Structure formats: C-alpha cells, structure tokens
Amino acid sequence: MSNHVLRPLFVVAVLVFLGLLARHFIVPKDFGIGRTGYMYGWHRKSNVEDWKAVKVKYRTAEYCKDCHSDKIDLIMTSPHAIINCENCHGPAVDHPDDPPKLPIDRSRELCLRCHFPLPYPTSGRGKIRGINPELHNPGQACSTCHNPHKPELSIQ
C-alpha cells in the first residue's frame, strides 16, 4: 500500500487507541455493570447514595391538591387538565416554606409554547387551538383576558 493510504490509517488507529486509553482512566470501573453482567445505564452502584441525596424539584398536582383543591378542581374540568401545575408555577421543591408563594409565569411566551399555530394535522399538537401572536392582543399577557385554570371562560 502506498503512503497516502497508510498514514491516515495509522492516524485513525492511534486516535482509536488514545480514545480507549482515555476511557480506561476516565470512566469509573463500575460503569455499565449490572446484576446480569455488562449493560448500559446511567446509574452505578458506587453512586447510589448520591442519587438518594438528590432533592426532588417537581411535586406534581398530587402535592398541590391538599392546599389548592379549589384550583385543582377548576383546572381538572378544563383543557389544561393535562398540564402539570409546576409548568406555570415553577418547581415546588421547598414549597410551602421557601418560597411561601410560588412565582407565576404570566409571560405570553409560556402560553405560546402550546398555542402558537402549527399546521401539522398528524400531530396531537395540531389539535390545540392556536393564536396568531402578532394579531391577537400583541404585547399583552394572556392572563389579562384568559383564566389559565379555566381558559374557555375567556374573560376573567
């Protein structure tokens, strides 16, 4: 074989060797080791305690319903019933102590994440009623006119 083929082949072989060598020193020994032998996964036996110490940030509507049953009852009969409370109110990680009241994202952009018109008939997202943000009350927060807990009422 000529040099123009051997040189790049040699470079690739060296890079593969260096990559495997780096992997040997960087990747923990118990990475990918499971009960049934080698397997891919995110968790290692050596960091189980680290994962136990991770604080859960999102609590779901089950956590909210004890104190906010009126809001939960209202939203459960609306099209927004499928949306978790914390999508708009932020994570309830330390609520009710710190913060005592969750911040509410009243930005127009939050609503437009779902209500921007998408012309995809095969997508479930295409069935969501969309608005043209340039024509429909531009620059105004949606919650000025719409109650997010009961959006079909239109005016609060």
Backbone torsions φ then ψ of 38, nearest 5 degrees: -75, 130
**Domain range list for the chain:** 1-32, 60-153
pLDDT at 39: 64
- Phi-psi label, residue 61: left if phi above 0, alpha if psi -120 to 50, beta otherwise: alpha
* Model confidence pLDDT, tens digit, residues 23-76: 889 887 777 766 666 666 666 777 778 888 888 888 888 888 888 888 888 888
Averaged pLDDT for residues 77-84 = 83
Per DSSP, what are the bridge partners of residue 37?
34
Identity of the amino acid at 46: S
pLDDT at 41: 65
pTM recorded for the entire structure = 0.57
